[in-house]
Amino acid sequence: MGSEPLSPISPISPGHPIGVFDSGVGGLSILRALRSELPQENFTYLADSGFAPYGERGEAFVVDRARQLAQQLLDDHAIKSLVIACNTATAAAIHLLRAELPGLPIVGVEPALKPALALTRTGSIGVLATRGTLASAKFRTLHESLKEQAQFRLQPCDGLADAIENHDSARTLALCRQYTAGLGNFGAGAGEIDTLVLGCTHYPFALEHLRALLGPAVQLVETGQPVARQTRRLLDSAGLLNPHGAGSVAYRSTGELALLQRSAARWL
What band does 162 get if pLDDT is binned at 50, 70 and 90?
very high
Closest to 19 in 3D by CA, of 90, 99, 76, 63 = 76
Give the predicted TM-score (pTM) of the model: 0.91
Q: Where are the domains of the chain?
A: 18-109+224-267, 113-221
Catalytic amino acids?
A: 86, 200
Mean pLDDT, residues 114-140 taken together: 95
For domain 113-221, give the fold.
Rossmann fold (3.40.50)
Q: Rounded to whole angstroms, how far apart are CA atoms 45 and 236?
A: 21
Which tens digits make up the pLDDT trace of 163-196?
999 999 999 999 999 999 999 999 999 999 999 9
Amino acid identity at 226: P
The reply to whether domains 18-109+224-267 and 113-221 share a CATH topology is yes
Q: What are phi and psi of 19, to 5 degrees?
A: -90, 135
Amino acid identity at 114: K
CB 82 within 8 A of CB 104: yes
- The predicted structure's pLDDT at residue 7: 75
Query: What dotted CATH number matches 18-109+224-267?
Result: 3.40.50.1860
Which tens digits make up the pLDDT trace of 85-96?
999 999 999 999
Which tens digits make up the pLDDT trace of 95-104?
999 999 999 9
